[in-house]
Structure 1
């Protein structure tokens, strides 16, 4: 099947004008807003006051005893994050919060408990004033759990099911509110990391200051994306005071790693570069070794330098770069019978490697380079520009399984691909804070642009040589010749969007109104089948409205409505519904998402933490489906509705708790090509999951510095077929059983040194994380024990 990428192909003249507009947008928009402020005398009178002069709603303050009890927590937080972020602007006070006052929505989190976010509104906003479900995972939580991937870091977050393909060292996989989201739902510093085919970006959690999970349609601020939400990782950036950290460790699979994180100020007299303040940060990690699967490595080399220049109090420029090199292997595709249930020969060992040692490899080269610019004109206007260039090159060869017979002979497919991606993102916005009478406004006007360019090719030999699951012996496979390519093309997508948002506060109410219009163009070139080469263009409007009330008791009920669109890659057959193929091809239209959400957030007075519950009703329309003929069609709709619960708390010094539970009903509500799937649950989609994790460190006495903790994770059953049953053998079924896993850790910290032992899956459960079909099931990771030593000064 040919693939394409929605892409804007304006004329040469219009492209030149577009690029010039983007380059000049910052200066021009700032000038326009400043001019508008100066020209107020010619407009109808409006009461505009700087934010400092607003009449703020009453805020509950902690009692003196609560402030005294919070002091050790603040000291512990400073030890966890000893350097404060570079203050680019003063943050508004968070109501009833005992978090560190210098916390920014895109900066370090003191401990596990965040009070602010930028992902929900693109402005620095308290979580208690954001009418949408948002979860913040701090760098401290990532480090405590020793998460090695984004998938591991989000295991305890509500609404997000990580690792639906089991233990895969190649990619981060996750579902949000039941919808597969990693291709359109992964963001770095508010800019999308668009992925398709096998061209997948992967982030290093050690390089992140925080990971934010924003649930529900979010296209109104970010453009095309998954209807279930997004994950926005925030990079570590230079800090204003010196901090140095080194760490090394090893696990029971033989993987050894080392990491470092250095940051602090730079003296300008040493650099001879003029006035201002200068800060640097250098983050790096190198790890190499094995995994639970034989002949499968997990090697990663990561370096991320950054540099901040503050020429004056109102201006900050931060340059961010990173380079990542991954060396690993393909994943086992195992039959349902032999992994989920026993086959005639029993169950396949988790250590079995079913590919070809002489052929198999997955190498990723990934690089980012960009900057974040912020300039505060006055107490009203602030301009921001966020720019990044991304490069990706993947070399993937594998031989994967395609079902086995009772004698244990596994049919294999020899596969090879080499995608390359060049992507450019720029996001410009101006924030204005002002009052009109009794209403306080935080208004955001923005223009963003993204260009995604993918050169893709995929080839196969079917069948490849067989492999016997009993003896573990398979014949070698040749490289896939170029004549066996079934995909060879170039796909370009241009997306230009303009958005407007107003956060309106009246007393304790906050109303958020957002609107956006996007233009998305497609240029899909299929070099093998030119008839599948298409160009297309479409415009989409996205909107959101949310209202939240923050009471003096710290209870904040909210309601919201949002819709979104998700540009697709590929072509479809408009005649598929009639069961014919007349050779007509059209570019895939964008999928659409629509959601109603209601919830309650609770942050008790004097309590460092918050509790939340959210109910949602979400629909995904124009879903891409396949049937006869084997050309994609857009005749699908899926509905997901459910409830999420979350708690994040530091109830007393030394104790941190995170927990969540998600339950929802998801089903296919329309599919004209495959009506037998209507009313069924999509594959790899458990409808219940949750977990709770805690960590406690003694604050004084003879055990001061010693800590321990653990967690329990539960994932409900899922299905291995679209119909939720096995059409070949009804006695075997198609359910993938639920599983429960435990995690644990012990650690000791003294004089900057920290010694820790972390365990995941402590009972060494052998389980299947999910199945794509009856020939493609994937084991989860067995028990992993990691010992580490770190030093901070």
Structure 2
């Protein structure tokens, strides 16, 4: 369990002194180690791995252009997968998310799913929600068809607030300052299940999702794509390009420029969903030991609130008039339903190998988001209307957030005379500032679900919250991956965090508050790798997540903590083209925040939860042109302690406890039909609950997807359809008056060209 105490002296005083010398201290340690420990025969890494990090990263961007398969690498380049580069087919072999080192998945004692670029393109996933719908342990799209952001539940716990990462650095989604990543700009998506606080210092015990940005390739890349289609009530079109390669004749500079644009609507009548995205990236490699990659992007969204808050009766079940609310109903207003966002990322990844033992890395990024939302929100039925009119209120929010992060890492691979070690020492820091202005009008004009009339207005919204939130966190961590034998690996991790949360209340200055906390988290794990590809493992880990913001009373939340024991087995027979993971887990979570029943838009910190379950993930890539992925998840989620006795022993709302999926794609490899491909998928989501007492059940559902495509020369044409039967379903309910329709049928036709 995490130990949490109050800081004895001000956090900012210690943070400034520690951070200012962090990089120099790590560099000095590495240089000293180089002088004191010269390479010896039979120690450290084998000669072929002397610069394994930089050597393997050098194949990034090779081979797998968008919509293409095939092995990566050009002539004379080792076909070794980079942990941040393309995945050959659907089966990834390496990741840097679980350990922050370049570790094969078969040697990683934790459950993880990697969704590569080829799988994203095959499924034509245009949001992070769509791209992760076939991953185990993860329920994507909790709040249905939402054009503003992505929601995720990992092993029963919300992961879209503190559990989203990009390139190993956190994306905080607090309040209404949402970060959302354009999936066309991603090389891979990695779903890590279970606590990861020992390395990242944050996140719920359910796990995290790390989005890996496309990086400059070694070989020239030229790719363009256009497409369009229908999504419920709205048609849409898009265009995208991806250009990159060497920028000089000496092979020191490489570039990549990725961009996309979308315009059109969605399944809600009169709701736009437009987006523009541009991402320049540059890599500088002066020699084989040093590498600097600059990553940046800018994104603009013009959308609406499409996750309509609708009553249980009228969506899951017919209402008093025997009707169901149309899925296309704009509960907002065609003239007053706005969500706009501008977001930007700028940062770099630096790596230098001093010798065959020591490597230093520094990852740094500044993230910025500015969003505005103004809409009517559903609020149950209007009394005396036979449930044919919805009451509404107006909600307006203006949010601006900036997030600075830096992660310093020193990695040493050596032999101590008895065991081989992969030692990681790190120091990271984050600084988050949020300006949040929220206002509402109660009540707003009601609306007919049969014959809606728009353009009605009431009084302007009045602010109920104007806060300036600041959050800082400093963490020191160490991890050692110890080869006890050639087959048995012990992983030990330890981390100390210092966190400071301050809230300045501009409406009621006397209610300004804050707190400082520190915590020690740790992980221990064992994995045994048999030569024929079987790898059983067991791990125990703890989690720590400082909470941003306050309750309605102004009281700052204490950090959330948790612990997990996980056991499982991985199977990757050499050369067979498939990877299977089975895992069982038991998670305990304390300090859980839940919606405040007495104060809308606020939360209270109440109690503890437990999640115990099993999951399975299979990925397949065969030389005969077959790619497949399948997943199964089942767990028992229950509230074990709460200030409200009605919650104890119950399953929290919004959360299905069983789901399964399978997706297959086949491309004919030879003959007259060579290049023609087809496939499809099936997704099952079990029932969930819409009320605390678990008396209102949200029905389970099954959805079907399909695709057909044809590759000829450098061209690719494809048609993809999700929810092909256009089934109307409710993805979840937050309460009896807040249910959310899932995605309607989406059909996308695309044409791409690569040269």
Given the two structures, how large is their TM-score scaled by the length of structure 2? 0.92
**Do the aligned residues in 1 keep the contact of 2:376 with 2:392 (CA within 8 Å)?**
yes
Q: CA deviation at 1:46?
A: 10
Aligned pair partner of 1:279 in 248, 254, 257: 254
**Do the aligned residues in 1 keep the contact of 2:132 with 2:140 (CA within 8 Å)?**
yes
Is residue 335 from structure 1 mapped to residue 311 from structure 2 by the alignment? yes
Is residue 387 from structure 1 mapped to residue 364 from structure 2 by the alignment? yes
CA separation of 1:693/1:629 partners in 2, compared to 1, >3 Å: closer, same or farther? closer
Aligned pair partner of 2:286 in 290, 311, 322: 311
CA separation of 1:626/1:766 partners in 2, compared to 1, >3 Å: closer, same or farther? closer
Is residue 453 from structure 1 mapped to residue 433 from structure 2 by the alignment? yes
**Do the aligned residues in 2 keep the contact of 1:181 with 1:229 (CA within 8 Å)?**
yes
Q: CA deviation at 1:624?
A: 2.3
Aligned pair partner of 1:535 in 509, 514, 526: 514
- Unaligned regions of 5+ residues in structure 1, if any? 1-5, 57-73, 91-99, 269-274, 574-582, 726-733
Q: CA deviation at 1:19?
A: 4.7
Q: CA deviation at 1:765?
A: 0.5
Q: CA deviation at 1:683?
A: 0.6
Is residue 428 from structure 1 mapped to residue 408 from structure 2 by the alignment? yes
3-state DSSP of counterpart to 1:38:
helix
Aligned pair partner of 1:29 in 10, 26, 31: 26
Q: How does 1:96-135 map to 2 (within 5 A)?
A: 101-135=79-113
**Do the aligned residues in 2 keep the contact of 1:47 with 1:435 (CA within 8 Å)?**
no
Is residue 325 from structure 1 mapped to residue 296 from structure 2 by the alignment? no
Q: CA deviation at 1:785?
A: 1.0
**Do the aligned residues in 1 keep the contact of 2:185 with 2:214 (CA within 8 Å)?**
yes
The 2-side partners of 1:46 and 1:255 are apart by: 62
3-state DSSP of counterpart to 1:104:
coil
1:52: which partner in 2?
46
**Do the aligned residues in 2 keep the contact of 1:465 with 1:474 (CA within 8 Å)?**
no
Aligned pair partner of 1:266 in 243, 247, 258: 247
1:397: which partner in 2?
374
**Do the aligned residues in 1 keep the contact of 2:66 with 2:223 (CA within 8 Å)?**
no
**Do the aligned residues in 2 keep the contact of 1:390 with 1:422 (CA within 8 Å)?**
yes
CA separation of 1:792/1:75 partners in 2, compared to 1, >3 Å: closer, same or farther? closer
Is residue 366 from structure 1 mapped to residue 335 from structure 2 by the alignment? no
The 2-side partners of 1:588 and 1:637 are apart by: 14
Could you give the per-residue CA deviations for residues 185-232 of structure 1, whole angstroms, max 9, x where no partner exists? 100000000111111100111111100000001000001211100000
3-state DSSP of counterpart to 1:267:
coil
Could you give the per-residue CA deviations for residues 619-673 of structure 1, whole angstroms, max 9, x where no partner exists? 111112466875855341000000001100113420001000000000101102x
**Do the aligned residues in 2 keep the contact of 1:9 with 1:494 (CA within 8 Å)?**
no
Paired residues, number: 728
Q: How does 1:591-610 map to 2 (within 5 A)?
A: 591-610=560-579
C-alpha RMSD of matched pairs (Å): 2.6
**Do the aligned residues in 1 keep the contact of 2:666 with 2:677 (CA within 8 Å)?**
yes
Q: CA deviation at 1:535?
A: 2.5
Q: CA deviation at 1:83?
A: 6.5
Given the two structures, how large is their TM-score scaled by the length of structure 1? 0.88
The 2-side partners of 1:319 and 1:420 are apart by: 24
CA separation of 1:120/1:404 partners in 2, compared to 1, >3 Å: closer, same or farther? same
| Displacement over 6 Å in runs of 4+ | 6-9, 45-48, 74-78
Q: CA deviation at 1:14?
A: 4.8
1:237: which partner in 2?
215
Aligned pair partner of 1:144 in 103, 110, 122: 122
CA separation of 1:174/1:389 partners in 2, compared to 1, >3 Å: closer, same or farther? same
The 1-side partners of 2:172 and 2:750 are apart by: 34
CA separation of 1:770/1:447 partners in 2, compared to 1, >3 Å: closer, same or farther? same
1:64: which partner in 2?
none
CA separation of 1:628/1:293 partners in 2, compared to 1, >3 Å: closer, same or farther? closer
CA separation of 1:114/1:46 partners in 2, compared to 1, >3 Å: closer, same or farther? same
**Do the aligned residues in 2 keep the contact of 1:345 with 1:470 (CA within 8 Å)?**
no
Could you give the per-residue CA deviations for residues 557-597 of structure 1, whole angstroms, max 9, x where no partner exists? 00000000111123359xxxxxxxxx7x5421101110000
Q: How does 1:261-660 map to 2 (within 5 A)?
A: 261-267=242-248, 277-331=252-306, 332-343=308-319, 344-405=321-382, 406-474=386-454, 476-478=456-458, 480-481=460-461, 484-505=462-483, 506-572=485-551, 586-625=555-594, 633-660=604-631
2:54: which partner in 1?
none
- Unaligned regions of 5+ residues in structure 2, if any? 1-5, 51-62
**Do the aligned residues in 1 keep the contact of 2:64 with 2:118 (CA within 8 Å)?**
no
**Do the aligned residues in 2 keep the contact of 1:521 with 1:538 (CA within 8 Å)?**
yes
**Do the aligned residues in 1 keep the contact of 2:65 with 2:223 (CA within 8 Å)?**
no
The 2-side partners of 1:51 and 1:186 are apart by: 33
3-state DSSP of counterpart to 1:17:
helix
**Do the aligned residues in 2 keep the contact of 1:242 with 1:265 (CA within 8 Å)?**
yes
3-state DSSP of counterpart to 1:419:
strand
CA separation of 1:281/1:84 partners in 2, compared to 1, >3 Å: closer, same or farther? farther
The 2-side partners of 1:11 and 1:670 are apart by: 32
